[in-house]
Amino acid sequence: MNWDWNVVEDFLPRFWDGVLVTLQALAAGALIAFVLGLVWALAQRSARVWVRRPVVAVTEFVRNTPLLVQLFFLFYVVPNFGPSMSPLTTGIVGLGLHYSTYTAEVYRAGIDGVPAGQWEAATALNLSRARTWRAVILPQAIRRVVPPLGNYVIAMLKDSPMIATIGAFDMLGEAQSFSNETFTTEALTVVGVAFIAVAYPASLLIRALERRLVR
């Protein structure tokens, strides 16, 4: 099969539309995952059983069910009982909620990695619990978890094509639609190269950041 640059040229407008959807889903989904993951991590350490146990149950359930099933549930089932969302919004919420359960474990590991002496020093200084978290524990924990969180951003990028199943056409969704209409494969190749072009430099950046934080 010969490569046809004219096909690539015809696909480019739809490709850029898909790139925009992918970046929107990735940026907003990562923001939700990072913020909500921290909430989950702090709630799991709560002394109140009625807070800790439901959060643990929810995060375990979300983490152990497929992302695709969660997207279908949010898009097709939730509107029967609550507000309906657009395909893109549903994809963002689904990605953010799913990956928040993983970032929660990253935050937990970072918090557990803070030396016990830091807690003791904060107690000796008579710092409140809230100030201890805000000024002593979280700054040290966040520094430790930046590289793992970056790895989850790359994982979210690779999982973002799943949102096409509910109608939010990202890069791959646009490529599949175009290929089905034109019976060509150039669009799929372009998208494959695009994913590599984004993910590989990002992985190198995360490695460099990790080395810098270690030093």
pLDDT given for residue 186 in this prediction: 92
Sequence ranges of the domains in the chain = 5-214
For residue 27, the tally of other CB atoms under 10 A from its CB is 13
For residue 54, the tally of other CB atoms under 10 A from its CB is 11
CA dihedral 208, 211, 213, 215 (to 10 degrees): -140
d(CA 185, CA 4): 10
pLDDT given for residue 166 in this prediction: 93
Comparing C-alpha atoms, which of 149, 146, 142, 118 is closest to residue 132? 118
Comparing C-alpha atoms, which of 105, 101, 107 is closest to residue 62? 101
Q: Which residue has the tokens 């270690």?
A: 214
pLDDT of the chain along its 215 residues, tens only? 588 899 999 999 999 999 999 999 999 999 999 999 999 998 998 888 898 999 999 999 999 999 999 999 999 999 998 788 999 999 999 999 999 999 999 999 888 888 888 888 888 888 888 888 888 888 888 888 888 888 899 999 999 999 999 988 999 999 999 999 988 899 999 999 999 998 888 888 888 877 776 66
Tell the burial category of 50 from Cβ atoms under 10 Å away from its Cβ (0-12, 13-18, 19+): exposed
d(CA 204, CA 60): 31
d(CA 62, CA 65): 5
Q: Which two tokens stand for residue 149?
A: 């969180």
pLDDT given for residue 63 in this prediction: 92
Q: Which CATH number fits domain 5-214: 3.40.190.10, 1.10.1040.10, 1.10.3720.10, 3.30.2270.10?
A: 1.10.3720.10
pLDDT given for residue 59 in this prediction: 94
pLDDT given for residue 1 in this prediction: 57
CA dihedral 111, 117, 118, 121 (to 10 degrees): 150
Q: pTM of this prediction?
A: 0.88
Q: CA of 187: how far to CAs of 15, 22, 146, 165, 197, in Å?
A: 8, 16, 34, 18, 15
The three-state secondary structure class of 66 is coil
